[in-house]
Homo-oligomer: A and B are copies of this chain.
Amino acid sequence: MQGVRVGVIGCGYWGPNLIRNFAHHPLARVEAVSDVRYERAVRAGSQYRIPTVTDVADEVLRAPDIDLVVIATPSFTHHALAKTALQAGKHVLVMKPLATRLADAEELCDLAARHGVLLAVDHTFVFTGAVRKMHELITSGTIGDLYYFDSVRINLGLFQADVNVVWDLAPHDVAIMDYLISEPPVSVSATGASHGGSPTENIAYVTVRYGGSLIGHVHVNWLAPAKVRRTIVGGSKRMMIYDDVEPSEKLRVYDKGFSIGGGGAEGDYASMISYRAGDMHAPQLDTREALAVETDNVIQAVLGKGALTVDGMAGVRVVRILEAAQRSIEQDGAVVPVGAGAARKPS
């Protein structure tokens, strides 16, 4: 094979970024693009001299000369489009979230396995230099046991009608959480509210409980006066802050913590605690565009030269948490178990 032949469906906000990255990849060629708004497809197509430009997704999904179908359409269409592509024997990369219902996401995983093709999910933030470095620090043991994952993603933002803020913004945080935390979640609770006539929630808090004392929390908000994108990870050895709004030193690793010692006087708890306040360290991060790292990962996997970093199972795990959060919101914050059948990460 001379390279991976790519077809992209959806040329709206995110599609052109994917097209650009695949077009520039030395082992990929974008052969077809489609968008129901034809002029968008034309604009993308002409910029990269893409042979097939259409407003009929099916022409991409079933085209014989396409190896990889990239789906960058609104969430509610992911399942149907991906299903068709997988059934046509294509490898598929789907934007986040993989699907809007857990059952649909699981079906896509099953289909990919049955047809022997790859199903990748575009959890872009997983491919940033900061998140990859966080993963490395966790897996190397530098952070120690994980205590908590706290993520805030707020701004005065792009209100959307078809999805609420949980399905729009939280996939980023939940995908990072899924990538960094290897154990399965136990339960989810969430609260949201919609304001000013918005038909969907524009602010939400999602709590994810894991076994032991590990806890995850995500705050997403379309209606905040300042932009905050900050993830804090606390561990027994070190703590990290990933601040995506900082122009540089986005990741800071703090050699801080505490320990509870032995021989304190009876009842004198305070004297038993010792705090550790050491250096702060901001490691140099890979500054490549996350999407370039991701498209390379997908291309290499399609070429059989490596594993997908974010496969369909990751997509399923993220949708499981989102769906549980959605159900909790609908039940005024009730705790929703994330059940037995949970897709385990391979160990």
- The 3 tightest CB contacts between A and B, nearest first, are A161-B269, A225-B254, A225-B239
Q: Is A159 close to B, CB under 8 A?
A: yes
Interface residue range, chain A: 35 or more
State whether B227 touches A260 (Cβ < 8 A).
no
| A133 to B: closest C-beta gap in Å | 11
Instruction: Indicate which residue in B156, B193, B214, B282 contacts A148 across the interface (CB closer than 8 Å).
Output: B193
State whether A193 touches B214 (Cβ < 8 A).
yes
State whether A223 touches B282 (Cβ < 8 A).
no
State whether A225 touches B213 (Cβ < 8 A).
no
Q: Could you tell me which A residues sit within 8 Å of B by CB distance?
A: 147-148, 150, 154, 156, 158-162, 187, 189, 191-199, 203, 205, 207, 209, 213-215, 217, 219, 221, 223-227, 232, 234, 236, 239-241, 245, 247-249, 252, 254-260, 269-270, 273, 275, 277-284, 332-335
| A327 to B: closest C-beta gap in Å | 14
Distance between Cα atoms of A205 and B270 in the complex (Å)? 24
| A64 to B: closest C-beta gap in Å | 31
Contacts of A282 in B (CB 8 A): 279-282
| A240 to B: closest C-beta gap in Å | 7
State whether B225 touches A241 (Cβ < 8 A).
yes
For this chain, the copies found in one complex come to 4
State whether A226 touches B205 (Cβ < 8 A).
no
Instruction: Indicate which residue in B194, B196, B234, B260 contacts A259 across the interface (CB closer than 8 Å).
Output: B196
Contacts of A194 in B (CB 8 A): 213
| A81 to B: closest C-beta gap in Å | 19
State whether A284 touches B275 (Cβ < 8 A).
no
State whether A284 touches B279 (Cβ < 8 A).
yes
Distance between Cα atoms of A94 and B195 in the complex (Å)? 38
- Besides A194-B213, A281-B282, 6 other A-B contacts (C-beta < 8 A): A150-B219, A156-B277, A196-B257, A205-B217, A207-B333, A226-B254
Distance between Cα atoms of A239 and B227 in the complex (Å)? 13
State whether B147 touches A195 (Cβ < 8 A).
yes
Distance between Cα atoms of A269 and B168 in the complex (Å)? 15
Contacts of A198 in B (CB 8 A): 260
Distance between Cα atoms of A258 and B335 in the complex (Å)? 32
Distance between Cα atoms of A335 and B334 in the complex (Å)? 6
Given contacts A215-B193, A225-B232, A247-B245, contact A283 B279 (CB under 8 A): yes
Distance between Cα atoms of A161 and B197 in the complex (Å)? 46
State whether A277 touches B284 (Cβ < 8 A).
yes
Selected A-B contacts with CB under 8 Å, 18 pairs: A147-B193, A147-B196, A159-B270, A160-B270, A187-B333, A193-B215, A195-B234, A196-B259, A203-B215, A207-B333, A209-B332, A225-B232, A225-B239, A225-B252, A225-B280, A226-B241, A245-B247, A281-B281
| A137 to B: closest C-beta gap in Å | 13
State whether B203 touches A205 (Cβ < 8 A).
no
Instruction: Indicate which residue in B156, B224, B278 contacts A275 across the interface (CB closer than 8 Å).
Output: B156
Distance between Cα atoms of A193 and B150 in the complex (Å)? 13
Contacts of A191 in B (CB 8 A): 189, 207, 209, 215, 217
Distance between Cα atoms of A334 and B336 in the complex (Å)? 10
Chain B, residue nearest A207 (CB)? B191
State whether B195 touches A224 (Cβ < 8 A).
no
Contacts of A214 in B (CB 8 A): 193
